[in-house]
Amino acid sequence: MKIVVASDHGGFTAKEAIVKALEKLGLEVLDLGCRTEESCDYPDYARKVAQAVSQGRAEKGILVCGTGIGMSIAANKFPGVRAAVVWSRETAHLAGEHNWANVLCLSGRLFSGAQHITMIRAWLAAAFGEGRHSRRVKKIIKFESLSCKPRKS
């Protein structure tokens, strides 16, 4: 499985450790930056990972910023991307089982390296639940063809 990983400065140190850990697990990892702790803009890195997943160049992605929130908001703008912020082994597992999340968004500032790896492993090991979960995710996928016009006042 190919997995793309990126961070902003808030997630840089965590991302470096995550890349090494994923390689140790035998996964094919592509590190899309950033390269230093210098301040940068998280949407630029969310875009790199989300485009790779959206275009089918990678099966899954991991994004790390200060909270994980900005990365998830940006990544979810791309078709086919289901990016989830997770904060525990349980939420990481459920993001895979219930939401079929193909991008995991992590906080680099609120969790330790060991906690990141626990969450990533739970997400990677989770099998999509199918059944009612499939019905719900299909509804989300349909939202991609909606265009919402501003309400006339």
| Active site members | 65, 98
Encoded one letter per residue, x for contact with ligand RB5 by CB under 6 A and - for no contact, window 9-38 reads: -x----------------------------
Which is closer to ligand RB5, CB of 25 or CB of 69? 69
Is the CB of residue 97 less than 8 Å from the CB of residue 134? no
Interatomic CA distance for residues 4 and 48, integer angstroms: 9
C-alpha span between 49 and 147 (Å, rounded): 24
User: Rounded to the nearest 5°, which phi and psi values hold at 62?
Assistant: -130, 130
Which of 27, 31, 33, 66 lies at the binding interface for ligand RB5 (CB under 6 A)?
66
Chosen residue from 8, 50, 63, 75 binding ligand RB5 by CB under 6 A: 8
d(CA 98, CA 128) in angstroms, rounded, equals 6
User: Contact region for ligand RB5 (CB under 6 A) — 22-30, 46-54, 67-75, 143-151?
Assistant: 67-75
Residue 61 near residue 17, CB atoms below 8 Å: no
> Which residues contact ligand RB5 by CB under 6 A?
8, 10, 42, 65-67, 69-70
